[in-house]
Amino acid sequence: MASTKPPAPPKPPSADDAGFKRELVTLIPHLRAFARTLTGDPTAADDLAQDAMMKAWDARASYQMGTNMKAWTFMILRNQFYSEKRRSWRQSQLDQEAAERTLVAVDDPEAPVALDELRMALNTLPEEQREALILVGAGGFAYEEAAAICQCAVGTVKSRVSRARRALLATLERGGYERDGRAAGDAMRSILADADRLSGAVRQG
Amino acid sequence: MIDDSDSAGRKPTSATGQAGLEEARLRQQAIGVKLRHLFDEVVNEPVPEEFLAILRGADDRKIGE
């Protein structure tokens, strides 16, 4: 039955809206980073992050201030990503081309070798393992929060992260992908050296 | 924080086994550091103005609704 309730009159932005927006703005860099790990392409990632940001804004009435907005917006972004992906599942040829572009895009000769190797190794992981590892290992989420974002059980996230870590290590050590025609045999050595340098910089900072 | 239990939680059966587990733990730690660095690289990029413009537009859209 159609509602007889008249539409709400336009109203100026409220204090709640302003607070919501302030918090949302601080999350934009994180949304961009998560989107980049899902799409692998900076332009597509920014489109996805913008869509997610607007969906979060439109759904702000359902958000409870004071709860974890980062996890909430990440869940929106992730849902948006998979929903768009499902819509375009028939375009498998285009997906293949996008995957090839992604590898080309990250193969920046100026990029530090260890990061480049890690990006490529991440691309070899199944999507669900990659996102679980990124959320917990890089995004700073607890397993419980990652489970809420991925809408699965905590045990599933733990298992995905564990499998992702083992697969990543094996890929980096053995070189499970090719780069410029040669196997990435030195990837782990380069990552260890670079991690040492970064940890040292953090300690000194 | 990643749970390291599957690399550090098992009881080593020998000194060699213990060294191997320690090596695996160090490698996983190194990957963790790089992973965070990879993510933070994007987090630390300046936010494109487009994002803020879209949010400003959302205000206008609301008032004009």
CATH of the domain at A126: 1.10.10.10
Amino acid letter, residue A182: R
Average pLDDT, chain B: 77
Backbone angles phi, psi at B23, to 5 degrees: -65, -45
Does A7 reside within a domain? no
B61 lies within 8 A of chain A by CB: no
How many domains, in total, are found in chain B? Answer: 1
Q: How far apart are the first and last CA of chain B?
A: 44
For all residues of chain A together, what is the average pLDDT? 78
Angle formed by the axes of helices A92-106 and A113-123, nearest 10°: 160
Query: Is residue A45 located within the same domain as residue A113?
Result: no
Residues whose CB is less than 8 angstroms from the CB of residue A192 and which lie 6 or more positions away in sequence, other chains included: B26, B27, B30
Count the Cβ atoms, other than its own, within 10 Å of residue A75.
Answer: 18
> In terms of domains, do A118 and A98 share one?
no
Domain span including residue B15: 5-64
* A28/B47 CB distance under 8 A: yes
Q: A98 and A62, same structural domain?
A: yes
Question: What is d(CA A38, CA A48) in angstroms, rounded to the nearest whole number?
Answer: 10
Residue A52 has pLDDT above 70, yes or no: yes
Residue A168 near residue A121 (C-beta atoms within 8 A): yes
- A182 confidence band (pLDDT: 50, 70, 90): very low
Tell which residue, A194, A196, A128, A116, has the closest CA to residue A167.
A128
CB distance A53–B27 less than 8 Å? Answer: no
Q: Give yes or no: residues A63 and A113 share one domain.
A: no
Does the residue A41 lie in any domain?
yes
Residue type present at position A71: A
Best residue in A110, A165, A172 to probe B by mutation, most B CBs within 10 Å? Answer: A165
User: Which of these, A165, A141, A134, lies nearest to A33 by C-alpha position?
Assistant: A134
* A14 pLDDT tier (thresholds 50, 70, 90): low
Which of chain A's residues have a Cβ under 8 Å away from the Cβ of B33? 195, 198-199
State how many domains chain A has: 2
Between A14 and B63, the more confident residue is A14
CATH code of the domain in which A38 resides:
1.10.1740.10
For the segment A49-54, the average pLDDT, to the nearest whole number, is 97
- Residues A127 and A102 placed together within one structural domain of the fold: no
Predicted TM-score of the model (pTM): 0.73
Q: Who among A53, A134, A169 is closest to B54 (CB)?
A: A53
| The last residue of a domain, from among A79, A106, A133 | A106
Output the pLDDT for position A103.
42
Q: Give the domain range for residue A138.
A: 109-205
A146 and A194 belong to one structural domain = yes
pLDDT at residue A196, rounded to an integer: 66
Residue A8 located in a structural domain: no
Is the pLDDT higher at A15 or at A155?
Answer: A155
State the average pLDDT over residues B2-23.
64
Of A52, A79, A106, the residue at which a domain comes to its end is: A106
Residues A127 and A193 in one domain: yes
Enumerate residues 6+ apart whose C-beta is below 8 A from A49: A28, A31, A32, A34, A35, A77, B51
Residue B42 with chain A: CB contacts under 8 Å: 29, 32-33, 36
CA dist., res. A133 & res. A2, Å (int): 46
Helix ranges (DSSP H) in B1-65: 5-8, 15-43, 49-64
pLDDT average, residue stretch A128-137: 94
Determine the pLDDT at residue A108: 46
Give the rounded percent of residues in chain B with a pLDDT score beyond 90: 28
* A164, part of any domain: yes
* Boundary (domain end) residue, out of A53, A79, A106: A106
* pLDDT for the residue numbered A30: 97
Q: What pLDDT band is residue A2 in, cutting at 50, 70 and 90?
A: very low
Per-residue pLDDT at B28: 85
Residue B18 has pLDDT above 90, yes or no: no
In total, chain B counts a number of residues equal to: 65
Domain co-membership, A157 together with A83: no
Check A136 against B2: CB less than 8 A apart. yes
Q: Residue B62 pLDDT > 60, yes or no?
A: no
Query: Can you tell me the distance from the alpha carbon of A34 to that of B55, in angstroms, rounded to the nearest whole number?
Result: 19
Tell me the one-letter amino acid at A35: A
